[in-house]
Amino acid sequence: MRKIRIIGGVQTLYVDVGHARYPIDIGPGLLGDRELLAARVAGRDLLVVSDVTVAPLYLQRLHLALAGRRIGDCVLADGEQHKTLQAAALVFDALVRQKLNRDATVVALGGGVVGDIAGFAAACYQRGISCVQVPTTLLAQVDSSVGGKTGVNHPGGKNLIGAFHQPAAVIADTDTLATLPDRELRAGLAEVIKYGCVADAELFAWLEHNVHSILARDPGALCHAIARSCEIKAAVVGRDEREANVRAILNFGHSFGHAIEAATAYQRHLHGEAVAIGMLIATDLSVRLGMIEPSVLSRVRSLLVKAGLPTEAPRIGADAARALMRMDKKVAAGRLRLVLLESIGAAAVGGDYADAPFEKVLAEYFG
Amino acid sequence: MRKIRIIGGVQTLYVDVGHARYPIDIGPGLLGDRELLAARVAGRDLLVVSDVTVAPLYLQRLHLALAGRRIGDCVLADGEQHKTLQAAALVFDALVRQKLNRDATVVALGGGVVGDIAGFAAACYQRGISCVQVPTTLLAQVDSSVGGKTGVNHPGGKNLIGAFHQPAAVIADTDTLATLPDRELRAGLAEVIKYGCVADAELFAWLEHNVHSILARDPGALCHAIARSCEIKAAVVGRDEREANVRAILNFGHSFGHAIEAATAYQRHLHGEAVAIGMLIATDLSVRLGMIEPSVLSRVRSLLVKAGLPTEAPRIGADAARALMRMDKKVAAGRLRLVLLESIGAAAVGGDYADAPFEKVLAEYFG
C-alpha cells in the first residue's frame, strides 16, 4: 500500500487510492526545498491559498522556492468559523480573476481550515483541478491534509458541504511547527493519540512515555509522531477512500466531538480539543458496553491529561447533544453509527449498541 | 454499453460509467407512474428541487406519485442567470433545514438549470448524496440530465464551479414538453442536431426530413429524437466519463456558444440558441480548414434555419470573443481545444488547427 523512503531526515510515504497515488513528504526545511517543490507541484499557474496568520510567516518562503511560476495568492481569514461556503467563493473568485485553467494547481498553505477550503475549491473549480497540501499545523500534518476529504461548514453542521478530492501531494515541513501556539500543538496531538487508540497500541504506549518530548517540540519525536500517523492514515485511506467501512474508525471521538464544537459554535474548542473530549466519552461508552476494561479508560484519560487536553464537555444537556450528533454525517437508516474501542489499538464501527449506556454517557458528560 | 427495453411506449436505456450504472426512462406519463418512481427513487427522505415556472405545473403530480415519502421542496428562481453558487447555497440550506442525511435523495424537477444546481448540491452535500434527474425541457432530456456534469456559473464564466456526479436515475416524461415554450423546444432541438452532426449522419438526415414534426410536438418524433440523443450521449459518457477525450466531441459548438452566452450576460440567448450559432461557426471553421466540403456548411445552416434557430452571433468584436473563449474550461497548455467536423456524423477534437482561419471566423461572426 505504501513505501517509506528516508533521505536526509525527510520521510516520504505514498498513499494509494486505486485511481490515484500521491506522496507525503515529512521533514524539516521542505518549504524552501526548490527541488522537492519542482517535483511535487505541477503546472505553470498556481494559486496559493493561505490565511492571515500563516501567510506572513511562510508565504514568501514558498514564493521564493517556487520562483519561475505564475503565482497568485488568496489570503483568507483565520479560524474554523471562517470555514464557510463564502470563503470557498473567495477562492473561486481568485481562480477566475487569475484566469486559471484546468492545468493550474492550488497550493494550500496553512492549517486544516485552509486545507479543507482550498481542497474543496480545487475539487469544484472547473469540476476539479490539482491541489497540493502544505500543512503548517500538527493537526493538518497528521490528519486533514491526507486522505482527500475536503469541505466547508454550514451553520447547521460541520463539513456538511464538501467533496472527496485527493491531493496531488502533501508536503509537511516540520519547521513550520516552531511557530505553532502550544494550544494548537496539543490539539494536533489529540489526533495522534487517536491513531494510537484505534490502530496502534505501540504508538499509544510510545506516546505515554514521550508526550513531553512532543510538547517540547523535539524534532525527532515530532517526526516520528507525524510519520507514524500519516502511515496509519495512508493505510486506512488506501483500503477505503470513501469510508464505507474501514475509514470510519478514524472518526473515533468525532461524533461526540462535532457535537461539542457545534454546541459552542466552533468558538470554545479547537477541533482536536473537541475530539479529545469525544474520545474520552467514546472510551467511557465502550467500557459501559463491556467492550473494554475500565483500566483502558484510565490510560486514555491520563494520556489526554498529560497532553494538556481538555476532558470536560460543555454542559448543554443530553437532548441538545443527541440532536447535534444526529445532524452528523454518520447517521445511516436513522441510526447513529459510533466508533468504539475493542482495546488500545483496535476499534469497531457500528450502530448496533445498547441505547441505555449511550444515554448514560450523554447525561453524564453533557447533562 | 447499454440496453434498450421498450414497454408500452416507455423506453429505458442504461448508462454505464464503470463505477456506476443508471437507467434513463423516456416516455409519456412517467411523472404520475408510482411504480416507476418507487423503483427509481431510493430513500425515505427526499428534497425536490424545482423552479418557479415548473413547480406550479408538475410539483403536485410528483408529490402524489411519491406519496408516503418525507418530501421537502426547494423552489428556485428560473433562468440561467440564477444558476449561481448562491442558488446552490439555497439547496444546501433546504437540505440542512430538513436535517437530511446521507441516505436522502435530491430530485431535480425542471430544466437544465435546476438539474445542474440540484445535481451540484447533491454532489457536495455530505460529500455526495443520491440525485434523480426529472428533466422537463427538451434540452435537459437530451443532454444536461444525462452524464453527471453538474455545476453553477461564476460571473467570470459558465459552469466554472461544479462536480462530476452521476444521477441515480433519469426520468424523462415527454408529457412535460407540452407546456414548453416554442423557443425552448427549438433550443433543445439544437442539441439533438448536435448529436447528428458529431455522431450520427442518419439522425441528421432524419432531422432534415422531420424537424417540422418535432416543432409540431408529434409524440413519436419527440420520443425518437430524445431516445436516440440519450443513446448517443450514454454511449459517449460510458466510454469517457471525464471527457479527457471522447466525451469532448459533445462540446461541438459549445466553445463559441459559451462565449456568445457570456458576451450577452446569459440574457440574450438560450443555451441551445448559442450552441446553434456556435455549431455554425465551428462548421464554417471546419470548411476553412479544408476538413469538409462547403456543402456540409449549407446543410447545417439550413437545418438550423428550419429548426427556427438563430445563426447570427452578437457583434462583440473578435478580441472580446477570443478572450471569452479562452476563459472556457477547454484550454490545455495555453491552447484552446475545439471540436471540428470531419463529416456529418463525425467530429475531431484538438488544439492543432491553423490560427488564420480561426481568426477569420472570429472576425466574420463577431467582428
Write down the pLDDT at residue B276.
98
Write down the pLDDT at residue A8.
54
For this structure, is B271 an active site residue?
A: yes
List chain B residues with CB under 8 Å of A163. 123-124, 127-128, 163
Residues B334-361: pLDDT tens digits? Answer: 788 999 999 999 999 988 899 999 999 9
Query: pLDDT band at B185, cuts 50/70/90?
Result: very high
In the stretch 59-88 of chain A, residues with CB closer than 8 A to chain B read 85
- The answer on pLDDT for B331 being more than 80 is no
For this structure, is B251 an active site residue?
A: yes
Based on the domain organization, do B297 and B239 belong to the same domain?
yes
**In chain A, which residue's Cα lies nearest the Cα of B160?**
A126
Q: Which amino acid is at A17?
A: V
More confident residue, B267 or A73: A73
Based on the domain organization, do A198 and A288 belong to the same domain?
yes
Task: Give the distance from residue B242's alpha carbon to the nearest chain A alpha carbon, in angstroms.
Answer: 9
Q: What is the mean pLDDT of residues A182-188?
A: 96
Task: Give the distance from residue B210's alpha carbon to the nearest chain A alpha carbon, in angstroms.
Answer: 37
For this structure, is B242 an active site residue?
A: no
CB–CB contact A96 B155 (8 Å): yes
Which among A126, A127, A129, A150 is the top mutation candidate for probing chain B, defined by the most B β-carbons within 10 Å of its own β-carbon? A127
Name the percent of chain A lying above pLDDT 90: 80
List chain B residues with CB under 8 Å of A106. none
Of residues A162, A102, A133, the one with CA closest to residue A23: A133
For this structure, is B61 an active site residue?
A: no
Based on the domain organization, do A149 and A220 belong to the same domain?
no
Write down the pLDDT at residue B195.
97
List B184, B228, B231, B251, catalytic entry? B251
Identify the weakest region by mean pLDDT among A13-17, A91-95, B1-5, B280-284.
Answer: B1-5
Cα angle: B28, vertex B32, A334; to 5 degrees: 135
- Does the CB of B327 have a partner CB in chain A at under 8 Å? yes
C-alpha cell at B277: 450559432
Q: What is the mean pLDDT of residues A183-190?
A: 97
Q: What is the mean pLDDT of residues A179-199?
A: 97
Question: So which residues of A are the catalytic ones?
Answer: 127, 149, 191, 233, 243, 247, 251, 254, 258, 271
**In chain B, which residue's Cα lies nearest the Cα of A158?**
B126
For this structure, is B63 an active site residue?
A: no
Write down the pLDDT at residue A262.
85
* Final residue in a domain of this structure, among A179, A204, A233: A179
Based on the domain organization, do A94 and A109 belong to the same domain?
yes
Q: Which amino acid is at B270?
A: L
Residues A282-296: pLDDT tens digits? Answer: 999 999 999 999 999
**In chain A, which residue's Cα lies nearest the Cα of B92?**
A161
Query: pLDDT band at A18, cuts 50/70/90?
Result: confident
Based on the domain organization, do A314 and A237 belong to the same domain?
yes
Based on the domain organization, do B164 and B219 belong to the same domain?
no
C-alpha cell at B322: 477570443
Based on the domain organization, do A100 and A113 belong to the same domain?
yes
Q: What is the mean pLDDT of residues A152-159?
A: 90
Based on the domain organization, do B165 and B238 belong to the same domain?
no
How far is Cα A219 from Cα A239, in angstroms, rounded to an integer?
Answer: 30
How far is Cα A107 from Cα A91, in angstroms, rounded to an integer?
Answer: 11
For this structure, is B243 an active site residue?
A: yes
Helix (H, G, I), strand (E, B) or coil at A354: coil
Task: Give the distance from residue A201's alpha carbon to the nearest chain B alpha carbon, in angstroms.
Answer: 31
CATH classification at residue A111 = 3.40.50.1970
CB under 8 Å to B57, separation ≥6 — which residues? B136, B176, B179
Write down the pLDDT at residue A333.
65
Residue spans of alpha helices (H) in chain B:
34-40, 55-65, 85-97, 112-124, 138-139, 182-199, 201-215, 219-239, 254-263, 271-288, 294-306, 318-326, 355-366
Of residues B39, B100, B38, the one with CA closest to residue B64: B38
List chain A residues with CB under 8 Å of B101. 329, 331-332
In the stretch 118-137 of chain A, residues with CB closer than 8 A to chain B read 123-128
CB–CB contact B126 A329 (8 Å): yes
Residues A242-271: pLDDT tens digits? Answer: 666 778 899 999 999 989 988 887 788 988
Write down the pLDDT at residue B343.
97
Query: pLDDT band at A237, cuts 50/70/90?
Result: confident
DSSP-assigned letters across all residues of A244-288: SSGGGGGGTTHHHHHHHHHHTTTTSS-HHHHHHHHHHHHHHHHHH
Confirm if B158 and B261 have CB atoms less than 8 A apart: yes
Q: What is the SS3 assignment for A96-146?
A: HHCCCCCCCEEEEEECHHHHHHHHHHHHHECCCCEEEEEECCHHHHHHHCC
Based on the domain organization, do A356 and A237 belong to the same domain?
yes
Based on the domain organization, do A196 and A316 belong to the same domain?
yes
- The answer on pLDDT for B116 being more than 60 is yes
Write down the pLDDT at residue A238.
82
Give the residue numbers spanning the domain of B189: 182-366
Write down the pLDDT at residue A116.
97
Average pLDDT, chain A: 92
Residues B65-89: pLDDT tens digits? Answer: 999 999 999 999 998 889 999 999 9
CB–CB contact B92 A154 (8 Å): yes
Write down the pLDDT at residue B350.
86
Q: Measured between CB atoms, which of A96, A155, A159 is closest to B160?
A: A96
CB under 8 Å to A195, separation ≥6 — which residues? A142, A203, A228, A229, A232, A233
Write down the pLDDT at residue A176.
95
Write down the pLDDT at residue B104.
96
Based on the domain organization, do B91 and B239 belong to the same domain?
no
Q: Measured between CB atoms, which of A92, A103, A331 is closest to B161?
A: A92
CB under 8 Å to B116, separation ≥6 — which residues? B83, B144, B149, B150, B151, B152, B159, B162
Helix (H, G, I), strand (E, B) or coil at B241: coil
C-alpha cell at A301: 484519560
* Final residue in a domain of this structure, among A179, A197, A222: A179
CB–CB contact B96 A162 (8 Å): no
* Final residue in a domain of this structure, among A157, A179, A201: A179
Based on the domain organization, do B98 and B227 belong to the same domain?
no
Query: pLDDT band at B241, cuts 50/70/90?
Result: low
Task: Give the distance from residue A123's alpha carbon to the nearest chain B alpha carbon, in angstroms.
Answer: 7
Identify the weakest region by mean pLDDT among A275-284, B64-73, B104-113, B228-237.
Answer: B228-237
Residues A45-83: pLDDT tens digits? Answer: 999 999 999 999 999 999 999 999 999 999 999 988 899
Task: Give the distance from residue B161's alpha carbon to the nearest chain A alpha carbon, in angstroms.
Answer: 5
Task: Give the distance from residue B125's alpha carbon to the nearest chain A alpha carbon, in angstroms.
Answer: 5
User: Count of domains in chain A?
Assistant: 2
Residues A294-323: pLDDT tens digits? Answer: 999 999 999 999 999 999 999 999 999 999
List chain B residues with CB under 8 Å of A161. 92, 124-125
